[in-house]
């Protein structure tokens, strides 16, 4: 994964990520096979959760999942409903 250029390269294919998508993937990569809670994600992506609509995280996750699906990487993202997400191998 290329954090500097906001890209995910997998199996010789690449996808351009937004700033928050990059932060989220970095968080997951630094906690492999561990559940990253919604609260941890919110704290990482936004400085002040009070001004973030509750659907904002869902939209960010959906956009990320759609992008990584294009390059075959989505199989590694495992959502735990109501809890968070983890990066599996």
Q: What's the number of CA atoms in the CB half-sphere (13 Å) around residue 51?
A: 4
Instruction: Kindly give the confidence (pLDDT) of every residue in the chain, 89 residues in length, as a single tens digit, with 9 standing for 90 and above.
Output: 667 789 999 988 999 999 999 999 999 999 999 999 988 998 899 876 666 776 888 899 999 999 999 999 999 999 999 899 999 98
- Residue with tokens 């960010």, as numbered in its chain: 60
- Residue with tokens 């890209």, as numbered in its chain: 7
63/61 Cα distance (integer angstroms): 5
Could you tell me if 56 and 7 are in contact, meaning their C-beta atoms sit under 8 angstroms apart? no
Complete domains list, the chain, with CATH:
7-87 (1.10.10.10)
25/47 Cα distance (integer angstroms): 17
pTM of the model: 0.88
């Amino acid at each position: 994964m290329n954090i500097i250029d906001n890209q995910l390269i997998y199996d010789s294919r690449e996808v351009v990520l937004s700033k928050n998508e990059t932060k989220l993937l970095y968080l997951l990569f630094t906690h492999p096979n561990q559940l990253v809670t919604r609260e941890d994600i919110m704290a990482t992506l936004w400085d002040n959760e009070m001004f973030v609509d509750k659907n904002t995280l869902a939209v960010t996750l959906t956009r990320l999942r759609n992008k990584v699906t294009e390059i075959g990487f989505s199989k590694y993202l495992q959502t735990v409903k109501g809890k968070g997400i983890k990066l599996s191998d």
